[in-house]
Structure 1
């Protein structure tokens, strides 16, 4: 009997429970919640697309020590799709003797349609004539290819052979990988797989025709590697090439900007880019160069206005020198007297070749703060 056409979603690296400590607490809370909300979106999509299963290729949780409440919330987020969920432990949530998975079992919150694969082996989905060759990580780091047994694993005739694993395809991911867990680049061919569903790399990536990383469902790093997707995979008869569609499900998009200011129009251009951002954006911006005091003030206001619009913002202005012009000093009443000496002292700190970044940052902030205080005073009350 020939295998029928099957369709499944491939996702990975949810890392539920991520803390996002680099952001303010309210920003971090929203980013953490988005990871759960996007799982719910995947469940909704799975139901709407009427897929045969959802394969989660590792790192469902970020830590073994996430709270019981987080565990319950994760499994509660799956309810919209009543078909099979196949979950594979990765390096962040490895299937240790005592793990987040054993706690979930004790909490009795894993629904019957959710299969957590804690041991290597073959899992049969007879309803769609599919054999899943599963290689869960049973420790955080391994140096042997856990998918090695795929080559000799026997599966029923006419069943699709689909591999599910978490690790780094050797020679493909050169940098930035989460772990050293190696996977042979030829595994799909040597194991006669129709499809190899991988996790660990946080962007969706085609390794070859049958080998894919889904990437994280919700972007969590300032890296442009196509995160925020799930893969909708269709397989016809066994041996046929898979049809893979990348579907964006992520709520937020992260941007990293490294800006250099040298002329006033650079400030105007950056202000325009900031004005185009909105609630789906997470931004980390570093600004270097030099700016007149008035331009630096305008940039500071634009950044604070952007902070109120975007989901999260990190700003580094330590590389920006604030150099008051004669017009700036006249406007502030700082052409002579004590205030002029303060300004000169702060400029001297900025021009000190041995100054550390924090010193430069404090000097620029002090100039901006001084300018704000002076502008709030009546003109006739400003220092002269």
Structure 2
């Protein structure tokens, strides 16, 4: 029996446009910290090695610091071997990060690049069957290609691959799709015994055998990931398999849709934002719909501004948001403006009702409402 960790899609060096300043630095640090936790978990579980199934790095152009910090993290548990598979983000092409001087000169002894499709002995009686990417756009099923080269043997074989399975992909014309039925057929006849996959960031068990898995990303990267933040602890024999999900990520992506029409709705939104734990490691995207007054818009702006300073990021889901601000006479009266200022506010109120300048006019009125301190 062999016990190992299955992970993928570290994407070290990843940036996110909605992270500003120190939030991006914390996001970067978390992706290195999780490597240390993976190594420590492998030791605690008695796992001899870790397979990282592609997209270890965000690209082949990551900076030197990313590589060195990754090595420092993997080198913290020298008794655990990390097998790194090149994927679509970091293929083993002429510009590969895996062939850079920084990588080759500083790579610790417990890091092995699976850069050749030949089987690798990971432990006594255990073979890794790697399917590395040599280009960003392969024209064949790379996993099927390496399995076609296998000869009969008694070893427990772990296929290490990356890419989309044909049953999950909407693009059926993609020649690089991994054939699930072919994998299951090989498993049934005992040619291979576990398929460790990367590319899908959600932890996913594919097929009826329980031997084809995506580990998911150990730290989440986007809102649409269903079960990210895990690694898999795999116990394998040729006639036995046990796969356990272990949560290991620290960050979260949350999305929420809110209809705002009253003070109570704003109260509920504020209560929900207040309830979010670990705000410094949480990214929130809000879809806001409905109709509110100018005073309510000013309150909403303050609320979002406050929580944007607490959260790692707070985004508005523009494509799904349709929030209308409708100023009324009460709003204008609260401003206690007179003369030219009152006339300007009334002009903005008229523009805010409709037309190309409506959104700009509503924002200007909301700002005026806040600056005037009408709702303080």
**Is TM > 0.5 for Structure 1 vs Structure 2?**
yes
* SS in structure 2 of the partner of residue 169 of structure 1: coil
Match of 2:181 in 1: 186
Q: Does structure 2 retain, via aligned residues, the 8 Å contact 1:319–1:361? A: no
Which aligned pairs between 1:62-141 and structure 2 lie closer than 5 A?
62-82=58-78, 83-103=80-100, 107-127=104-124, 129-141=125-137
Distance, in Å, in 2 between the alignment partners of 1:69 and 1:151 is 39
Q: Does structure 1 retain, via aligned residues, the 8 Å contact 2:283–2:311? A: yes
Distance, in Å, in 1 between the alignment partners of 2:229 and 2:349 is 44
1:64 is displaced (CA, Å) by 0.7
1:260 is displaced (CA, Å) by 2.6
* Residues 94-119 of structure 1, C-alpha deviations (whole Å, 9 max, x = no match): 01133100015654121122110112
Matched, 1:348 2:350: yes
- Structure-2 change in CA distance of 1:245 and 1:360 (3 Å): farther
Which aligned pairs between 1:261-276 and structure 2 lie closer than 5 A?
261-276=260-275
- Structure-2 change in CA distance of 1:32 and 1:246 (3 Å): same
* SS in structure 2 of the partner of residue 118 of structure 1: coil
Distance, in Å, in 2 between the alignment partners of 1:132 and 1:112 is 18
1:164 is displaced (CA, Å) by 0.4
Distance, in Å, in 2 between the alignment partners of 1:125 and 1:32 is 30
Which aligned pairs between 1:173-252 and structure 2 lie closer than 5 A?
173-174=169-170, 181-192=176-187, 193-208=192-207, 209-235=210-236, 237-240=237-240, 242-252=241-251
1:312 is displaced (CA, Å) by 1.9
Distance, in Å, in 1 between the alignment partners of 2:169 and 2:148 is 22
Unaligned runs of at least 5 residues, structure 2: none
Match of 1:34 in 2: 30
Match of 2:304 in 1: 303
Distance, in Å, in 1 between the alignment partners of 2:186 and 2:118 is 14
Match of 2:324 in 1: 321
* SS in structure 1 of the partner of residue 100 of structure 2: helix
- Structure-2 change in CA distance of 1:315 and 1:106 (3 Å): closer
Match of 2:164 in 1: 168
* Residues 330-380 of structure 1, C-alpha deviations (whole Å, 9 max, x = no match): 22114x643333233333333324x2xxx5553333122101221189x9x
Distance, in Å, in 2 between the alignment partners of 1:254 and 1:367 is 32
Distance, in Å, in 1 between the alignment partners of 2:99 and 2:182 is 30
- Structure-2 change in CA distance of 1:251 and 1:106 (3 Å): closer
- Structure-2 change in CA distance of 1:270 and 1:343 (3 Å): same
Match of 1:330 in 2: 333
Distance, in Å, in 1 between the alignment partners of 2:342 and 2:152 is 82
* Residue-pair matches, total: 363
Q: Does structure 2 retain, via aligned residues, the 8 Å contact 1:231–1:246? A: yes
- Structure-2 change in CA distance of 1:59 and 1:106 (3 Å): closer
1:9 is displaced (CA, Å) by 0.8
1:310 is displaced (CA, Å) by 1.6
Q: Does structure 2 retain, via aligned residues, the 8 Å contact 1:143–1:181? A: yes
In angstroms, what is the RMSD of aligned CA positions? 2.4
1:65 is displaced (CA, Å) by 0.7
Distance, in Å, in 1 between the alignment partners of 2:86 and 2:133 is 6
Distance, in Å, in 2 between the alignment partners of 1:207 and 1:322 is 47
Distance, in Å, in 1 between the alignment partners of 2:203 and 2:170 is 15
1:152 is displaced (CA, Å) by 4.5
Distance, in Å, in 1 between the alignment partners of 2:262 and 2:364 is 22
Distance, in Å, in 1 between the alignment partners of 2:317 and 2:350 is 21
Distance, in Å, in 2 between the alignment partners of 1:113 and 1:339 is 71
Match of 1:382 in 2: none
Distance, in Å, in 1 between the alignment partners of 2:374 and 2:262 is 27
Q: Does structure 2 retain, via aligned residues, the 8 Å contact 1:47–1:80? A: no
* Residues 117-140 of structure 1, C-alpha deviations (whole Å, 9 max, x = no match): 11212111234x211111000101
Distance, in Å, in 2 between the alignment partners of 1:40 and 1:185 is 32
* SS in structure 2 of the partner of residue 186 of structure 1: helix
1:294 is displaced (CA, Å) by 2.1
Matched, 1:54 2:50: yes
1:27 is displaced (CA, Å) by 2.1
Distance, in Å, in 2 between the alignment partners of 1:329 and 1:154 is 81
